[in-house]
Amino acid sequence: SSARTLIRGGLVITAADEIHADVLTEDGRIAALAAHGSAAAESWTADRVIDATGRYVIPGGVDAHTHMELPFGGTSASDTFETGTRAAAWGGTTTIVDFAVQSVGHSLRAGLDAWYAKADGVCAVDYGFHMILSDVDERSLKEMDRLVEEGVTSFKLFMAYPGVFYSDDGRILRAMQRSARNGGLIMMHAENGIAIDVLVEQALAEGRTDPRYHGEVRKVVLEAEATHRAIQLARVAGAPLYVVHVSADEAVAEITAARDKGLNVFGETCPQYLFLSTDQLAEPDFEGAKYVCSTPLRPKEHQAALWRGLRTNDLQVVSTDHCPFCFTGQKELGRGDFSKIPNGLPGVENRMDLLHQAVLDGHLTRRRWIEIACATPARMFGLYPRKGTIAPGADADIVIYDPHAEQTLSVTTHHMNVDYNAYEGRRITGQVETVLSRGEVVIDQRTYTGRAGHGRYIPRGTCQYLV
Ligand code: URP
Ligand code: ZN
Ligand code: ZN
Ligand code: ZN
């Protein structure tokens, strides 16, 4: 179609600028921006005019870390690609990068094709894939090259979860050497899973079975040690490294030290580490299970290092690691044994709002909010400037955000397919009002107008932070 939409009178915020501008979209892309009230803007005609007076006009969020339908611990993450991407749209996120999984003994191709099939024709917003490497051997190393060419340009490795996703240092080094040659980006789950499993066994043997012990055995030093080791292996391989879900102050320090040496080491954190803590993990009546994820929630004191890292650019991205499991029937699998609680928290719908609240709380500037939630994840994973900004030629993925609306996060109002909200009762100033995905209005003044299958698969380029 040649539908033209004019978004008039808002404050356009990107990672670079804040300008009072009108935005014209045409054929799913941003056609032009012009100063509000300028002769150019006043001359535009459109099929639809959206009044954004008093609102922010921001790029659609890019959530670079989600796990729709992830099989884990004998169950599966409760959001499908259909429900999870719809919830993303509600929360102002118009692109997700999810993780296809290689099964042990199987090819990357087989895993990736299975994930293409899960998402095909059901997503509400656009999506791409990273690949989880569970079985690094000669065949899968060769396959990495083909995946990079195909648009799957990043690979997650696990130093945690022995017997499931775990790779030893030799396999990690080989995958890093390969990515140094083919342009792929290694994403690391940095926790010493071998040591953690010893502590898990000892805790259970001593009858320490409650959810809070999940946090106690997954020690800060075992995140910091794995982060340090991953950085050294990446140095040996000459490869860039992206550390996912950083939760501990000592892990931030390792990343900061590496960056101060000039290394291409990047760090991601998640809203749960910025806003929640071991206080939630210790909730009585097994409620703490709702907050079991890995890396685990940390004591509150760690939050300052994460906020500081985001300010100083030692951490560059906030993604959700959205991996929801219902309390009833899923989290409950771990009653009497915290190691059987499926790991993961819901959050894809709440990220943009929580980070806007962080702007109001003085942790971030408005432009930094857009940078860590939209622009940098798009650049990191080869989606920029198609995604992550508002500029001529970019996809018309736009959020009209009301910075003064008051809302309370709750399971009773959210759209994620999970029976609790990790931020239940939290008051937020600011709310998504209208969302465009490739020029189509998918949320219209807090009403869903999108459809399953509107979202398209987006093949990605390589990381745009490497010279
Ligand atoms: O607890 C988590 N984070 N679950 C999802 C899988 C992962 O390690 O990211
Ligand atoms: Zn005007
Ligand atoms: Zn992980
Ligand atoms: Zn994850």
Average pLDDT over residues 218-237: 98
Q: Which of 40, 37, 50 is nearest to 440 (CA)?
A: 50
Residue nearest to atom 4 of ligand 1 (CA): 344
- pLDDT-based confidence at residue 386 (cuts at 50, 70, 90): very high
pLDDT confidence of residue 243: 99
> Does the structure show a pLDDT above 70 at 2?
no
| Predicted ipTM of the assembly | 0.93
Q: Which atom of ligand 1 lies nearest, measured to the CA of 65?
A: 9
> Does the structure show a pLDDT above 60 at 1?
no
Taking CA atoms, 381 is separated from 109, 281, 337, in Å, by 20, 32, 37
pLDDT confidence of residue 233: 98
In sequence order, what are the residues at sequence separation of 6 or more whose Cβ sits closer than 8 angstroms to the Cβ of residue 206? none
Residue nearest to atom 5 of ligand 1 (CA): 344
> Does the structure show a pLDDT above 80 at 156?
yes
Q: Which ligand is nearest to the CA of 41?
A: 2
Q: Which of 98, 165, 294 to mutate to test ligand 1, by most ligand atoms within 8 A of the CB atom?
A: 294
Span from the CA of 244 to the centroid of ligand 4 (angstroms): 8
Average pLDDT over residues 185-203: 98
Q: Which atom of ligand 1 lies nearest, measured to the CA of 160?
A: 8
**Average model confidence (pLDDT) for the chain?**
98
> Does the structure show a pLDDT above 70 at 329?
yes
Q: Which ligand is nearest to the CA of 40?
A: 2
Helices (H), ranges, 386-455: none
Q: What is the pLDDT of residues 18-33, one digit of tens each?
A: 999 999 999 999 999 9
Q: What is the pLDDT of residues 31-48, one digit of tens each?
A: 999 999 999 999 999 999
Average pLDDT over residues 195-215: 98
In sign, the C-alpha dihedral spanning 130, 247, 125, 70 is: positive
Residue, of 1 and 248, whose pLDDT is higher = 248
Average pLDDT over residues 247-272: 98
Span from the CA of 348 to the centroid of ligand 2 (angstroms): 34
pLDDT confidence of residue 128: 99
Q: Which atom of ligand 1 lies nearest, measured to the CA of 158?
A: 8
pLDDT confidence of residue 208: 98
CA distance 225 to 270: 20
> Does the structure show a pLDDT above 90 at 454?
yes
Average pLDDT over residues 358-387: 98
Q: Which of 156, 245, 293, 322 to mutate to test ligand 1, by most ligand atoms within 8 A of the CB atom?
A: 293
Q: Which ligand is nearest to the CA of 51?
A: 2
Residue nearest to atom 2 of ligand 1 (CA): 344
Q: Which of 158, 242, 245 to mutate to test ligand 1, by most ligand atoms within 8 A of the CB atom?
A: 245
Q: Which atom of ligand 1 lies nearest, measured to the CA of 156?
A: 9
pLDDT confidence of residue 177: 98
CA distance 322 to 109: 24
Span from the CA of 21 to the centroid of ligand 2 (angstroms): 9
Average pLDDT over residues 286-311: 98
Q: What is the pLDDT of residues 62-106, one digit of tens each?
A: 999 999 999 999 999 999 999 999 999 999 999 999 999 999 999
Whether residue 318 has its Cβ less than 6 Å from ligand 1: no
In sequence order, what are the residues at sequence separation of 6 or more whose Cβ sits closer than 8 angstroms to the Cβ of residue 89? 124, 125, 435, 437, 442, 443, 448, 450
Span from the CA of 345 to the centroid of ligand 3 (angstroms): 12
Q: What is the pLDDT of residues 330-348, one digit of tens each?
A: 999 999 999 999 999 999 9
